[in-house]
């Protein structure tokens, strides 16, 4: 009998309804551990290990990564477009904030109403009822303004339970910007003009928030602002952003502004660019709601803000067909990008799924060359010419001066890969042999092995 009872208290059986009311095991919930900190789980916890595995990868800061190249281009554009009286960049760059934020930061600080669609549990990754992974970099806006920054870019990874297709992924990257303009700067040539209407009230009821879908395109302005101030600030915002897309894509890029709605800006806009025969939204922007500036202690300025997605820009610029490729660690993908190359030289080429195989070529230089003046680019060109499509990558892996023999040596690694099949060692040997011969002939080097 006793034995039988032991069998019945099988954990699998506890799940069945008949036993659950009487035999529920006392289950102590393990806390959720994210970035070495513990978070108490509750009914909002929905962050899973798969999404956590993307945290701390920092691909947007990784040298030569396409997202990092775009990030630098954007920062450069802002550094050039706005300088202080002393000639230094006006914008501060903040790119190392943890993506774990409070719901207060992500929503409340930005006047996102309690019933707003973006707060749904199904739309974001929650650690619990208090903490989440930021769904946009705007989550840091109020804190940074409060800390005293008045012109800044915030760059980082953001997380959304979005659809997954070739242009959407649950983790992507944004550059967010805030610019505040004081009255004396905004109206430098019109001292009689004002930023604020006389006796203005912020928090005005007349600001349309959102309908059930959270999307009301409300043009116009906040009642507290004068039309002149809004139009001037809007002009500066649009000019710098159109300048940015031209800086990235060239003067011929086709774009359009569309009215939009964000709870934290009014008026709000989206910028779309014409790509692959359709309009693609690349950023959201607008005039910062004055309540936010007031909360941060700024009273004499009007501000604009925007948030732009890095992946979409990189996909267009480099012809990258799928957003998942940015997470690739395959050197066949990563080696296609390098700050020193032009955009035209970095057009994406599909990466083979077949195996890579590499062989090195190392040689002594003739006296006519030094380690510094050996024409590395001509060497690469020769290898690509002689190796054809089998050569996926060539990189320098060693350079040294032999002090006894007074000779210089270079070593290059050539990575071979076929688009449609695995290569055999024998065929790679043949091609590699041809490359060695050509190198010897062209540069008069002595092979070391």
Residues that bind ligand FA5 (CB under 6 A): 136, 138, 160, 162, 168-169, 172, 174, 176, 262, 265, 281-286, 305-309, 311-312
Q: In the complex with Mg ion, which residue's Cβ is closer, 168 or 295?
A: 168
- The number of residues that bind Mg ion (CB under 5 A) is 1
- Contacts of residue 198, defined as CB under 8 A and 6 or more positions apart, other chains included, come to none
Q: Tell the smallest beta-carbon distance from residue 93 to ligand FA5 (Å).
A: 16
Q: In the complex with ligand FA5, which residue's Cβ is closer, 262 or 379?
A: 262
Q: Which string of x and - marks every residue 275-304 that binds Mg ion (by CB under 5 A)?
A: ---------x--------------------
Q: Tell the smallest beta-carbon distance from residue 401 to ligand FA5 (Å).
A: 48
Q: In the complex with ligand FA5, which residue's Cβ is closer, 326 or 379?
A: 326
Q: Tell the smallest beta-carbon distance from residue 104 to ligand FA5 (Å).
A: 16
Q: Tell the smallest beta-carbon distance from residue 107 to ligand FA5 (Å).
A: 11
Q: What is the 3-state secondary structure (H, E, C) of the chain?
A: CHHHHHHHCCHHHHCCHHHHHHHCCCCCCCCEEECCEEECCCCCCCCCHHHHCCCCCCHHHCCCCHHHHHHHHHHHHHHHHCECCCCCECCEEECCCCCEEEHHHHCHHHCCCCCCHHHCCCCCCECCCCEEECCCHHHHHHHHHHCCCCEEEEEEEEECCCCCECCECCEEEEEEEEEEEEHHHHCCCCCCCCCECCCCCCCCCCCCCCCCCCCCCCCCCCCCECHHHHHHHHHHHHHHHHHHHHHHHCCCCCEEEEEEEECCEEEEEEEEEEECCEEEEEEEEEEECHHHHHHCCCCCEEEEEEEEEHHHHHHHHHCCCCHHHHHCCCHHHHCCCCCCCCHHHHCCCCCCCCCCEEEEEEEECCCCCCCCCCCHHHHHHHHHHHHHHHEEEEEEEEEEEECCCCEEEEEEEEEECCCCCCCCHHHHHHHHHHHHHHHHHHHCCEECC
Q: In the complex with ligand FA5, which residue's Cβ is closer, 173 or 417?
A: 173
Q: Tell the smallest beta-carbon distance from residue 392 to ligand FA5 (Å).
A: 28
Q: Tell the smallest beta-carbon distance from residue 244 to ligand FA5 (Å).
A: 13
Q: Count of alpha carbons within 13 Å of 130, Cβ hemisphere only? A: 4
Q: In the complex with Mg ion, which residue's Cβ is closer, 66 or 284?
A: 284
Q: In the complex with ligand FA5, which residue's Cβ is closer, 224 or 390?
A: 224
For the CA atoms of 289, 290, 291, 292, the dihedral, rounded to the nearest 10 degrees, stands at 70
Q: In the complex with ligand FA5, which residue's Cβ is closer, 168 or 407?
A: 168
Binding-site partner at residue 307 among Mg ion, ligand FA5, none, CB < 5 to 8 Å by type: ligand FA5
Binding-site partner at residue 176 among ligand FA5, Mg ion, none, CB < 5 to 8 Å by type: ligand FA5
Q: In the complex with ligand FA5, which residue's Cβ is closer, 262 or 363?
A: 262
Binding-site partner at residue 282 among ligand FA5, Mg ion, none, CB < 5 to 8 Å by type: ligand FA5
Q: In the complex with ligand FA5, which residue's Cβ is closer, 169 or 337?
A: 169
Closest C-alpha among 159, 199, 143 to residue 52: 159
**Nearest-CB residue to ligand FA5?**
309
Q: Tell the smallest beta-carbon distance from residue 293 to Mg ion (Å).
A: 23
Total Cβ atoms within 10 A of residue 160? 18
Binding-site partner at residue 428 among ligand FA5, Mg ion, none, CB < 5 to 8 Å by type: none
Q: Tell the smallest beta-carbon distance from residue 305 to ligand FA5 (Å).
A: 4
**Nearest-CB residue to Mg ion?**
284
Q: Tell the smallest beta-carbon distance from residue 415 to ligand FA5 (Å).
A: 30
Binding-site partner at residue 138 among Mg ion, ligand FA5, none, CB < 5 to 8 Å by type: ligand FA5
Q: Tell the smallest beta-carbon distance from residue 409 to ligand FA5 (Å).
A: 46
Q: In the complex with ligand FA5, which residue's Cβ is closer, 222 or 409?
A: 222
- Contacts of residue 135, defined as CB under 8 A and 6 or more positions apart, other chains included, come to 106, 118, 123, 124, 158, 159, 160
Binding region for Mg ion (CB under 5 A): 284
């Amino acid at each position: 009998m006793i034995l039988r009872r032991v069998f019945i208290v099988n954990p699998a059986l506890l799940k069945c309804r008949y036993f659950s009311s009487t035999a529920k095991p006392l289950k102590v919930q393990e806390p959720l551990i994210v970035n070495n900190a513990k978070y108490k789980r509750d009914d909002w916890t929905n962050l899973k290990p798969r999404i956590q595995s993307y945290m701390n990868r920092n691909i947007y800061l990784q040298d030569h990564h396409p997202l990092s190249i775009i990030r630098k281009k954007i920062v450069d554009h802002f550094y050039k477009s706005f300088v202080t009286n002393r000639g230094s960049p006006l914008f501060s760059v903040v790119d190392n904030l943890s993506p774990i934020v409070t719901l207060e930061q992500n929503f409340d600080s930005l006047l996102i109403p309690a019933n707003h669609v973006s707060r749904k549990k199904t739309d974001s990754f929650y650690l619990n009822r208090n903490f989440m992974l930021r769904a946009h970099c705007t989550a840091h806006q109020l804190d940074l303004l409060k800390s005293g920054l008045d012109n800044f870019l915030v760059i980082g990874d953001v997380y959304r339970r979005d659809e997954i297709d070739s242009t959407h992924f649950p983790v992507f990257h944004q550059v967010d910007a805030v610019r505040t303009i004081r009255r004396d700067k905004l109206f430098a040539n019109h001292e009689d003009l004002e930023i604020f209407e006389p006796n203005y009230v912020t928090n005005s009821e007349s600001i349309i928030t959102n309908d059930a879908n959270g999307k009301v395109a409300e043009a116009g302005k906040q009642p507290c602002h004068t039309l002149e101030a809004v139009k001037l600030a809007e002009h500066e915002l649009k000019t710098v952003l159109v300048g940015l897309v031209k800086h990235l894509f060239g003067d011929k890029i086709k774009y359009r502004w569309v009215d939009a709605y964000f709870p934290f800006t009014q008026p709000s806009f989206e910028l779309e660019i014409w790509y692959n025969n359709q309009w693609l939204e690349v950023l959201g922007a607008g005039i910062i709601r004055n309540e936010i500036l007031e909360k941060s202690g700024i009273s004499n300025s009007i501000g604009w803000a925007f948030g732009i997605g890095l992946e979409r820009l990189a996909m267009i610029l480099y012809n990258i067909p799928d957003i998942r490729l940015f997470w690739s660690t395959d050197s066949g993908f990563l080696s296609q990008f390098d700050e020193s190359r032009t955009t035209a030289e970095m057009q994406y080429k599909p990466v083979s799924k077949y195996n890579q195989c590499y062989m090195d070529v190392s040689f002594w230089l003739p006296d006519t060359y030094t380690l510094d003046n050996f024409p590395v680019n001509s060497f690469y060109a020769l290898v690509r010419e002689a190796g054809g499509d089998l050569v996926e990558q060539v990189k320098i892996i060693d350079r040294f001066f032999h002090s006894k023999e007074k000779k210089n040596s270079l070593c290059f690694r050539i990575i071979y890969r076929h688009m449609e099949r695995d290569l055999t060692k024998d065929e790679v040997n043949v091609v590699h042999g041809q490359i060695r011969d050509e190198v010897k002939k062209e540069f008069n080097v002595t092979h070391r092995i």
